[in-house]
Amino acid sequence: MIVRSKAPLRLGLAGGGTDVSPYSDLYGGAILNATINMYAYTTIIPTSDGKIEIDLPDLDVNVSFDSAEQLQATGPAILHIGVYNRIVRDYTHAKLSFKISSHVDAPAGSGLGTSSTLVVSILGAFVEWLKLPLGEYDIAQLAYAIEREDLAMAGGKQDQYAATFGGVNFMEFYADNKVIVNPLRIRKTILYELSHNLVLYYTQTSRKSAEIIEDQTRNVKNKNGKSIEAMHKLKEQAVWMKEAMLKGDLNEMGRILDFGWQFKKQMASSISNTMIDKVYEAAVAAGATGGKISGAGGGGFMFFYCPELKRYAVETALQAFGGNVKRYEFTKEGLRTWTIQ
């Protein structure tokens, strides 16, 4: 038996950061995101040798353990171990024996939600193998609990829901981990045009999003007025972006992205830096009407809205910074699992 799963990575188009506690608990958060055809993949092969083997070819990591009901959650396979520990604790109540392998189409720390998407993919493979009675909201919430509570990794809530549901979604976040996912019916031609005009650029740098998010969290706890007001503006941006996409008013996209970027930088000092500012300025000088860093900030992917034929001049300008442009398409599907006997 071979069990497989895949979950899509996402672009956070508007409202990023308002899904992070305590802001979302105090004020409510709102995010607009869309999944793309880059994925986290997981394969599980059940075994009977009393071992657990974890293979991560993209990280050149292979580790194995004697099977146990709980494993120490450390090292490069911490996400896999965290999912396994929760599955045994909540569902099987008995140790399992298997080989598990995962791969992600983007590097860790690149701003496309890689870690959370990988957790959803791993969890999805276990759900498929063990036939667990979990729906989309259950899987997304459990993935969040594993990453944020069990493993104490700082971060928000949007990535787990984006990877599980897929498509273009307007998400609302409230206290007590209440999340409402509102799928948006966007015309195909609008999505085609958006993926053509929205240039995705990898800066060839990565960052530890947890440090940026912890800085943002401190600002809210310390009642930093500038940071909190910036988050309020980003929540407004998410509503503005939703309306523009539903109406097909793509000419507004660049302006909406730039509006959000100016306020996002005020959430925490580490979100931007000299290199990111130079890349942004060069893209705008070449014809982009707006853009942003993807994810928490500090590095990774950026994207820019380039109307008409401006993308080619923008791509040329970005070559000077040593990164690369990534072609992609938006996808409607979220987590998918299957079994081969």
- CATH number of the domain encompassing residue 200: 3.30.70.890
First to last CA, the chain: 4
Confidence grade of residue 180 (pLDDT, cut at 50, 70, 90): very high
Assess whether 109 and 237 both reside in one domain.
no
Please state, in angstroms and rounded to a whole number, the distance separating the CA atoms of residues 289 and 275.
19
Are 216 and 113 found together in one domain? no
Same structural domain, 196 and 88: no
Residue at which a domain ends, from 142, 162, 185: 185
341 found inside a domain = no
Residues 279 and 176 in one domain: no
CB 173 within 8 A of CB 287: no
Q: Does the pLDDT of residue 337 top 80, yes or no?
A: yes
Whether the pLDDT of residue 264 is over 90: the answer is no
Whether residues 225 and 304 fall in one domain: yes
Burial (CB count within 10 angstroms: exposed 0-12, middle 13-18, buried 19+), residue 291: buried
Q: Is residue 335 part of a domain?
A: no
Mean pLDDT, to the nearest integer, of 7-26?
94
Question: Same domain for 102 and 228?
Answer: no
Mean pLDDT of 137-153: 96
Verify that 119 and 201 share a domain, yes or no.
no
Q: Tell whether 130 is covered by a domain.
A: yes
Angle at 240 between CA 273 and CA 178, to 5 degrees: 85
Give the CATH number of the domain where residue 21 resides: 3.30.230.10
The mean pLDDT of 242-246, rounded to a whole number, is 96
Answer yes or no: pTM beyond 0.75. yes
Q: Are residues 52 and 92 in the same domain?
A: yes
Q: Calculate helix-pair angle for 136-144, 114-130, nearest 10 degrees.
A: 130
Same domain, yes or no: 156 and 241: no
CB 88 within 8 A of CB 68: no
pLDDT at position 207 is 60
Q: For residues 284 and 148, state if they share a domain.
A: no
**Does 336 map to a domain?**
no
pLDDT of residue 217: 79
- Cα–Cα distance for residue pair 59/102, rounded to 1 Å: 10
172 and 222 both lie in a single domain: no
Number of structural domains in the chain = 2
Q: Which residue range(s) make up the domain with 237?
A: 188-326
Q: How confident is the model at residue 212 (pLDDT cuts 50, 70, 90)?
A: confident
Same domain, 179 and 193: no
Task: List, by residue number, the catalytic residues.
Answer: 159
Domain stops at, among 131, 163, 185: 185
